[in-house]
Amino acid sequence: MNTDLATQQSERLVFFTLAQLCIIILAARIAGSLAARIAQATVVGEIIAGILLGPSLFGWIMPVPFLWIFHSTPSGPLDVLSQLGLILLMFQVGLEFDFSHLKKKANRRVVLWIAMASLLLPFATGLGVGFMSAPLLSPEANRWVSALFVATAFSITAVPVLGRIMMELGITKSRLGVIAISAAAINDVVGWLLLALVTALALAQFQFPLFLAKVFFVFLFVLAWFFFVRPLMKWAVRHFNAGHEISATFLGIVLVSIFISGMITSALGIFTIFGGFVMGVILYDEADFAKLWQARVAPFVSVFFLPIFFTYTGLRTNIAALDGVWPWIWCGLILILATISKFAGVYAAARISGLNHHQGKIMGVMMNTRALMELVVINVGYDMGAISEKTFTMLVIMAIVSTVVTTPLLRRWLPHAQERHGEVVAT
């Protein structure tokens, strides 16, 4: 009898998980296609689709079907698939990191200036906003922990989304394109290290000896991966000739390595996604393998796993939670300050490093693209209880708006520039 009941429960869980996946994947493909038709990045449509499948729209206009589909069974399978997708995504982000742009002396100064400005001013602004708003918006969270997560969310730039937008606009090989993607890559690396530090500090409950111990072990982990795991993985790439074909055996080795890396960083208290990211970074110079991964594996990650993460985020986003005037005032303030601090910092750094007014504006709007990467940060903060549902929702809105406006603004401002010897020069 107990066996029959367990079987029925298992079948019920599988049924509703499959139903959720069907709706999520279809909604993501439709929304992605619609976004592409209005000159937006596909991922923008997928993010919006994930939000609309949550209580903000689907749960609001069709509460009974919403509850039946998404709340008839525990959310465990969706949660696990979401986290698994994030680990693979962060591996891809690390794998795509390109250090070669930094070798150009002409670009190095401006890249470093913009990378620093895109981090420091937004972080300081976010820290202030987070510290002031925490007692009102996240009263149950530690005030400093909440402020640190808001500051990290303000600072991040989404390299994958920015790269897609640049490809669609044909500016990847321009000087501004190279500078922007290089600065964004540095921003991402520092951002993930910052997230790891903030997470470690929060889990150590501001006990600095424990925090320093965590940082020390994370440092050892990174060193071990670069000096011991990296040579082994590079040998495996050569041995299995993974630059020409990804065999089932080698794919298995890579997946196991990513998962073990994630398990170790999870045990260290800085979440599994950091392990996936480091695993990708140590193979950054395996260009042929990276191309094969992008061609063979990345599409499945994008089509199957990413929409699950967006929907999982959408199920946590409840715009109705912003009830009353003051929450919307705070939401508007967060959006305005996050955008201005990023834009102003980057624009000022661009001008100081020798770019002109038009180039500074273009750099400012490109570095304001947050999208997917910020969603990762705020999901970590929400899981830890560092930010409330209200703050989470406000930051989701900020991530979407800051990304949606990128392409239209670039299309409007880029005509003021022309290509000359591989550079974008203002006319």
Q: What is the pLDDT of residues 280-290, one digit of tens each?
A: 888 888 888 88
For residues 80-100, give the mean pLDDT.
Answer: 80
Please state which of the four CATH numbers 1.10.287.110, 1.20.1530.20, 3.40.640.10, 1.10.3720.10 is assigned to the domain occupying 77-426: 1.20.1530.20
CA distance 238 to 222: 23
- Give the burial class of 45: count Cβ atoms within 10 A of its Cβ; 0-12 exposed, 13-18 middle, 19 or more buried: buried
Q: Which long-range contacts (CB under 8 A, 24 or more apart) does 249-252 make?
A: 251/297
Per-residue pLDDT, 103: 60
Per-residue pLDDT, 56: 85
Higher pLDDT, 376 or 417: 376
Lowest-confidence region among 196-200, 296-300, 350-354 = 196-200
CA distance 101 to 78: 38
Per-residue pLDDT, 98: 62
Residue 330 reports pLDDT greater than 50: yes
For residues 45-55, give the mean pLDDT.
Answer: 88
* Tokens 């750094």 found at: 349
* 369, 161 Cβ separation under 8 angstroms: yes
Q: What is the pLDDT of residues 103-118, one digit of tens each?
A: 666 567 788 889 899 9
CA distance 47 to 308: 10
Per-residue pLDDT, 100: 61
* 130, 202 Cβ separation under 8 angstroms: no
Per-residue pLDDT, 420: 46
Residue 319 reports pLDDT greater than 80: yes
Which amino acid is located at 201 in the chain? L
CA distance 79 to 412: 40
In sequence order, the β-bridge partners of residue 4 are none
Cα diameter, the chain = 78
Per-residue pLDDT, 422: 45
- What percent of the chain clears pLDDT 90, i.e. is strictly above it? 23
Lowest-confidence region among 128-137, 186-195, 388-397 = 186-195
Residues 6+ apart with CB under 8 A from 300: none
In sequence order, the β-bridge partners of residue 417 are 426
For residues 324-350, give the mean pLDDT.
Answer: 92
- What percent of the chain clears pLDDT 70, i.e. is strictly above it? 92
* 409, 350 Cβ separation under 8 angstroms: no
Residue 405 reports pLDDT greater than 80: yes
CA distance 9 to 20: 16
Three-state secondary structure readout of the chain: CHHHHHHHHHHHHHHHHHHHHHHHHHHHHHHHHHHHHCCCCHHHHHHHHHHHCCCCCHHHHCHHHHHHHHCCCCCHHHHHHHHHHHHHHHHHHHHCCCCHHHHCHHHHHHHHHHHHHHHHHHHHHHHHHHHHHHHHHCCCCCHHHHHHHHHHHHHCCCHHHHHHHHHHHCCCCCHHHHHHHHHHHHHHHHHHHHHHHHHHHHHCCCCHHHHHHHHHHHHHHHHHHHHHHHHHHHHHHHHCCCCCCCCHHHHHHHHHHHHHHHHHHHHCCCCHHHHHHHHHHCCCCCHHHHHHHHHHCHHHHHHHHHHHHHHHHHHHCCHHHCCCHHHHHHHHHHHHHHHHHHHHHHHHHHHHCCCCHHHHHHHHHHHCCCHHHHHHHHHHHHHCCCCCHHHHHHHHHHHHHHHHCHHHHHHHHHHHEEEECCEEEEC
Per-residue pLDDT, 426: 44
Which amino acid is located at 336 in the chain? I
For residues 375-400, give the mean pLDDT.
Answer: 88
Lowest-confidence region among 39-43, 59-63, 253-257, 260-264 = 39-43
Lowest-confidence region among 184-193, 303-312, 319-328 = 184-193
For residues 133-156, give the mean pLDDT.
Answer: 89
Phi, psi of 216 (to 5 degrees): -60, -45
Lowest-confidence region among 208-212, 243-247, 397-401 = 208-212
Lowest-confidence region among 89-98, 145-154, 261-270, 337-346 = 89-98
Domain ranges of the chain: 77-426
Tell me what the pLDDT averaged over the chain comes to: 84
